[in-house]
Structure 1
């Protein structure tokens, strides 16, 4: 037993320069993969630690509870960055404090995060929001990340926003901290988890974009110099070594190299982790301590990497152990079976079928069929490549007067149709995933061509300070809308009447063709899909008993924005009957059509009424939103592309070195080096063109079908695909160079290549 262990150890350090190169490539692949996997796992620990700190600082509020401490958390934005301010009142020395806060601020005082304090010194947008006196700094225990913009602002005692007078807020006392994290006031999303959940989102991204390409990368590295190693195992079997002993040699050889690379990758990760605090991925930022991984996780990654590499090596070398004579003689492989094309055809057929208008499917069924076809297509790409490469080689071989190097390449592909596609399978799948990912990113984000929704520039001004409303009227570029209403009954049915100026109505709606609104009049209001007009004798009675005559004129209104409410009648403020109605003031609305006007208004609200806010879409990124999903998608696709290109590069370099033995035979009989290099380039280039071409065709078909499913112009979808097609073309050129350059520079043939297996 020991002799076979020593033989495996001897082979693991390489035999000759080619063996050393294979060992280096395999160890480097394992190191890169392990470092990448640990980085992906670190993302989950970062998310978990951030969520834990967010929950630890979230107040536990009890309605009409003990104590005087009241808090309300509000979201604002500077550009696309979120600024969270917590307005508070009633703090005493015995009040519970959130982590990172040593002492509460008093009225007109503020405690800032370090990043917000730095921003206030250089950005007037931040400085205008917080004119209060700075009395403290929030510690790391109270922050999600080092760059978080957060503030605790003290407000005077009895602020109506913190004592239940504001219609959206109950009188709730803070009795502690550690509640489930929720969105702050002012967010358009309501309540929900405030930071992304690692188990739900990162697990899927990690499996799709890290584990899958890493598995392909490691499998490629484990089979480097596959022909030479198989011949060596076959030679051992022909010398009388048992299959078990040959397997042990193969296990030791592969396991030692994989283990060395895995340990190197873990060491690189451990060295980079403390330096990562200033790094960021999109808007994701972290403390260095957040990415510390448990020792058990690291051990599992190392063990899994070694076991997977050994398993791939043992399974792939089975023919050398069971049929050593055929492997030793380099017999031709079987022709790829035609059934390899069926999954690809079925996948693309399902995608096209889902996009057909005549398909008898519900919208849910159409989407399900489309997604299933998409997944089947991606999984079928590696399966169909050997068959496509064989067909292409047969077609090339029939070209009359074809160059010698091209005929040589086609013959080699026909001889071993499954070898060269292994070089490009990972790259082809990666390009297809990137193509689909780019469309997914466009759908997740506010892509104006793929999505018909628009950001509403309408905001509710939630504040009990009348000075805020007066100040907002003077903000350039904005329109302040102050509507009133009164409840009414119509023949026993409840409804409401709008009391407003015509200017406010036309700012919120478009009128029917030829219609005008005149102050001093009353109107019936008709909306798309509304009930028929009122009868002239209908009884419309306000809540104070005043009867409102049914107006003779009507206005057809179409909302400019999604405001979600309708009124039966419009009574302009100048109408005589308006003075007799008991009106209820509605929440003022602010129309801010651009980011600059919105920012000017937000500065006023934050500075004058820290407990007030603008309720609506502020254009900031927070929680599990499209920006976070897009960031994870781009990061995952980048990792996939790096691993795919790394797999291709390692396999191409190793293939050029491994082929030196066969090329030495050609050189001895007088074949020119240029022809040999051309044959090697063609041998890898034909499957490369097939793989990238198949990925491009699949991407185009899926993209066109997606346009039909979404009822979106095909040009808009193709506009997102074209950069991916250009990337595929660039990958083809780079791949050809990675094949051709090593093939050319490995033409120096020695007698050793003729003897060594």
Structure 2
């Protein structure tokens, strides 16, 4: 046993220049793959660490705590300069109050504790300074931050009265500590850029990294396949048993792969501490969060080596079973049609799921579709040998076929399993890119697959939070219209309903009126809402509406027909303007919130500065132009990062296989050159040998992507033209992959035309 292990070690480090090149290619491929996989696992670790720190600073609230606590914490997601600013208003804190992680002392009114990034921003950005005029008394340590660039401020605020209807909200309950679990959903999360960490990221990078890495490693494990098969066959013909030959091959493959995996691990250990200042889109991280658990690293390296060994052992089975045919370079058997069945099953399952769920997709349809999509991706490389053989046979029968093309098709039919190893990684990469593009389009842009926001439209915002409403200050901001309308409970036509109390200017700022209608202060109006269906009938003129305070209001003749101006829910059967005589007898509560109408985000930002500076517990709710949570921008960032990794793995696998194939074919090409074949014909034959299956693979991946896209369009009831528009970049990427593949095949083939005596002598 020991001698065969030693022989495997000897073959892995010394078998001529070709063997050294193969060892270098295979080990570097394993190193690149392990480095990318570790980086992907580190991303999951970063998200998990951010999740833990977000939970650690989340307040624990109790409606009736055992120990009375005056501390109240009100979390606000604000925006400054397009960046998310997490502003936490702190009221009632003292020296005995619990503190969030990273905060040494709680701020009093007029004071604040800020993150290092926000402290630097306050010194350079007037918008931030205007929003937070409080005095800085401390800095939040990394233990209380998600990432180095996070904008976080704990702002001291005076205690503010809470409306009775809001006291049931847990955000107004006493805070007894910090460390409450978080709940997440796709959309705007509870913390900026913190999302359900391990599951979503592990699934995304499993698609973008692990699947291409599996194809990459399988390609590297079969480098110099013909040479290695002849070597195994020679050992068998010398009397070595099949088991001993298997051990030699396994040791050789395992040693090379292990060396590359350890190299990748060393590169990750060097690069990880240097990455704290790096960024992926808006995602930043602490270098300390990049740690991958040692058992996971050991398991990943072990699986990588074992996977390469299994691929190598299974691929050399013909050399062990029939060594004489391998030594004589006999043609390989024709690939079976069964190789097409998994691909047809995957596409058929997707079509079946789409047909079954065309009216109302069920969970079973979604599961069948997901499994079919995965099966299709895995089955693409399996189908390439059969299709490549069939295409080569068809081209060979065409009249007037050039010599170089006949040479390429003859080689394809002689060894139909060789060329697909060149193109498998590219094929899977294109399919993964198409699926990723569809996923982002459907999740981030929702089912409409079209923009829903008009950048030039007027915008409405609402001032929320406890404390007084700075309405007077907001009315002084140029370009801001304050809409102050109050709903007053009333009994209308014997049923519970509401009155709307406000000025005509505020009312017409919230609603549109039919042509020819106008609102005049000092009057009352009956209201017909365009968006109401059914409900209580319109009260008749002369009847009385009874307000909650008991005030009776005569129903007027005048009617206003209302249309929707903004997506805001407010209804009522009567409008009572503030100047109407009956208003004095009404019990109109003070406004707990007001709406603002602006023409652009810049004006809204100025209004948000006024709100934050005047009342720290208040904030402006609406579209301020910031990206946060698991939104479209973050999904696109993850997609681009994943596709970049997939593209690197695909290029690496193709380049390694192309270079190795060129070196391995030098002996056969030298024989052709000796008999008078021109270098141009030899190079064209090598290009045709690689390009024909590449065209088949890329075309097959594009066709599978189009089929899945059509099914998804039916499932989500989306226009197919829009869906196909989303995958169009993937088809362009396939064209780019074809051009890159052509260069990677043609250049090495042309540069290795020099013939040596060693190539002619070597069997």
Shared fold, TM over 0.5: yes
Shift of 1:394: 2.4
Query: 98-107 vs 278-287, which deviates more?
Result: 98-107
Query: 245-254 vs 631-640, which deviates more?
Result: 631-640
Shift of 1:719: 3.3
Shift of 1:708: 4.7
Structure 1 equivalent of residue 146 of structure 2: 144
The separation in 2 between residues aligned to 1:11 and 1:162, in whole angstroms, is 81
Q: Secondary structure at the match of 2:267?
A: helix
* Contact 1:85 1:151 survives alignment (8 Å): yes
Shift of 1:151: 1.0
Structure 2 equivalent of residue 218 of structure 1: 217
Shift of 1:637: 1.9
Structure 1 equivalent of residue 157 of structure 2: 155
Matches within 5 A, 1:377-416: 377-416=376-415
Matches within 5 A, 1:84-163: 84-156=86-158, 158-160=159-161
Matches within 5 A, 1:435-446: 435-446=434-445
Cα distance change on mapping 1:750 and 1:682 into 2, 3 Å: same
The counterpart of 1:738, out of the listed 731, 735, 744, is: 744
The separation in 1 between residues aligned to 2:560 and 2:354, in whole angstroms, is 41
The separation in 1 between residues aligned to 2:587 and 2:538, in whole angstroms, is 22
Structure 2 equivalent of residue 567 of structure 1: 572
Cα distance change on mapping 1:518 and 1:152 into 2, 3 Å: same
The separation in 2 between residues aligned to 1:754 and 1:524, in whole angstroms, is 97
Structure 2 equivalent of residue 4 of structure 1: 4
Shift of 1:517: 4.0
Q: Does 1:523 align with 2:521?
A: no
* Contact 1:443 1:451 survives alignment (8 Å): no
* Contact 2:25 2:220 survives alignment (8 Å): yes
Structure 1 equivalent of residue 326 of structure 2: 327
* Contact 1:163 1:170 survives alignment (8 Å): no
The separation in 1 between residues aligned to 2:370 and 2:181, in whole angstroms, is 34
Structure 2 equivalent of residue 536 of structure 1: 540
Q: Secondary structure at the match of 1:557?
A: strand
RMSD: 2.9
Query: 373-382 vs 392-401, which deviates more?
Result: 373-382
Shift of 1:702: 3.5
Structure 2 equivalent of residue 294 of structure 1: 293
Structure 1 equivalent of residue 48 of structure 2: 48
Shift of 1:562: 2.5
* Contact 2:357 2:715 survives alignment (8 Å): no
Shift of 1:253: 0.6
Q: Deviations over 1:683-733 (max 9, x none)?
A: 001011111122223333433454454444444333332322222111111
* Contact 1:459 1:615 survives alignment (8 Å): yes
Query: 538-547 vs 640-649, which deviates more?
Result: 538-547
The gaps in structure 1 that reach 5 residues or longer are: none
* Contact 1:432 1:699 survives alignment (8 Å): yes
* Contact 2:63 2:170 survives alignment (8 Å): no
Matches within 5 A, 1:569-648: 569-586=574-591, 587-648=593-654
* Contact 2:71 2:175 survives alignment (8 Å): yes
Cα distance change on mapping 1:515 and 1:230 into 2, 3 Å: farther
Shift of 1:617: 4.2
Cα distance change on mapping 1:565 and 1:450 into 2, 3 Å: same
* Contact 1:181 1:192 survives alignment (8 Å): no
* Contact 1:524 1:551 survives alignment (8 Å): no
Aligned length: 753
Structure 1 equivalent of residue 360 of structure 2: 362
The separation in 2 between residues aligned to 1:70 and 1:163, in whole angstroms, is 16
Structure 2 equivalent of residue 63 of structure 1: 63
Shift of 1:76: 0.5
Q: Secondary structure at the match of 1:637?
A: helix
Cα distance change on mapping 1:352 and 1:507 into 2, 3 Å: farther
* Contact 1:30 1:218 survives alignment (8 Å): yes
Shift of 1:28: 0.2
Shift of 1:569: 2.8
Structure 1 equivalent of residue 177 of structure 2: 176
Shift of 1:254: 0.5
Q: Secondary structure at the match of 1:278?
A: coil
Q: Secondary structure at the match of 2:628?
A: coil
Shift of 1:171: 4.2
Cα distance change on mapping 1:397 and 1:529 into 2, 3 Å: farther
* Contact 2:605 2:624 survives alignment (8 Å): no
Structure 2 equivalent of residue 15 of structure 1: 15
* Contact 1:50 1:145 survives alignment (8 Å): yes
Cα distance change on mapping 1:732 and 1:257 into 2, 3 Å: same
Shift of 1:24: 0.2
Structure 2 equivalent of residue 250 of structure 1: 249
Q: Secondary structure at the match of 1:85?
A: strand
Q: Deviations over 1:631-672 (max 9, x none)?
A: 323222221111111111111111111111222221222211
The separation in 2 between residues aligned to 1:606 and 1:188, in whole angstroms, is 25
Structure 1 equivalent of residue 201 of structure 2: 202
Q: Deviations over 1:318-353 (max 9, x none)?
A: 111111122222222233333444444454455566
Query: 4-13 vs 197-206, which deviates more?
Result: 197-206
The separation in 1 between residues aligned to 2:671 and 2:647, in whole angstroms, is 37
Matches within 5 A, 1:495-510: 495-510=497-512
Shift of 1:400: 2.1
Q: Secondary structure at the match of 2:401?
A: coil
Cα distance change on mapping 1:469 and 1:392 into 2, 3 Å: same
Query: 417-426 vs 619-628, which deviates more?
Result: 619-628
TM-score normalised over the length of structure 2: 0.92
The separation in 2 between residues aligned to 1:259 and 1:206, in whole angstroms, is 23
Shift of 1:237: 0.6
Structure 1 equivalent of residue 75 of structure 2: 73
TM-score normalised over the length of structure 1: 0.92
* Contact 1:540 1:550 survives alignment (8 Å): yes
The gaps in structure 2 that reach 5 residues or longer are: none
The separation in 2 between residues aligned to 1:652 and 1:609, in whole angstroms, is 66
Structure 2 equivalent of residue 489 of structure 1: 491
Q: Secondary structure at the match of 2:108?
A: coil
Cα distance change on mapping 1:166 and 1:453 into 2, 3 Å: farther
Q: Secondary structure at the match of 2:694?
A: helix
Shift of 1:310: 0.9
Cα distance change on mapping 1:718 and 1:430 into 2, 3 Å: same
* Contact 1:217 1:647 survives alignment (8 Å): yes
Cα distance change on mapping 1:428 and 1:706 into 2, 3 Å: same
Shift of 1:431: 0.9
The separation in 1 between residues aligned to 2:361 and 2:323, in whole angstroms, is 56
The separation in 1 between residues aligned to 2:69 and 2:217, in whole angstroms, is 60
Structure 2 equivalent of residue 719 of structure 1: 725
The separation in 2 between residues aligned to 1:297 and 1:67, in whole angstroms, is 44
The separation in 2 between residues aligned to 1:295 and 1:558, in whole angstroms, is 62
Shift of 1:146: 0.9
The separation in 2 between residues aligned to 1:487 and 1:162, in whole angstroms, is 16
Q: Secondary structure at the match of 2:174?
A: strand
Q: Secondary structure at the match of 1:496?
A: strand
The separation in 1 between residues aligned to 2:694 and 2:665, in whole angstroms, is 18
Shift of 1:95: 2.1
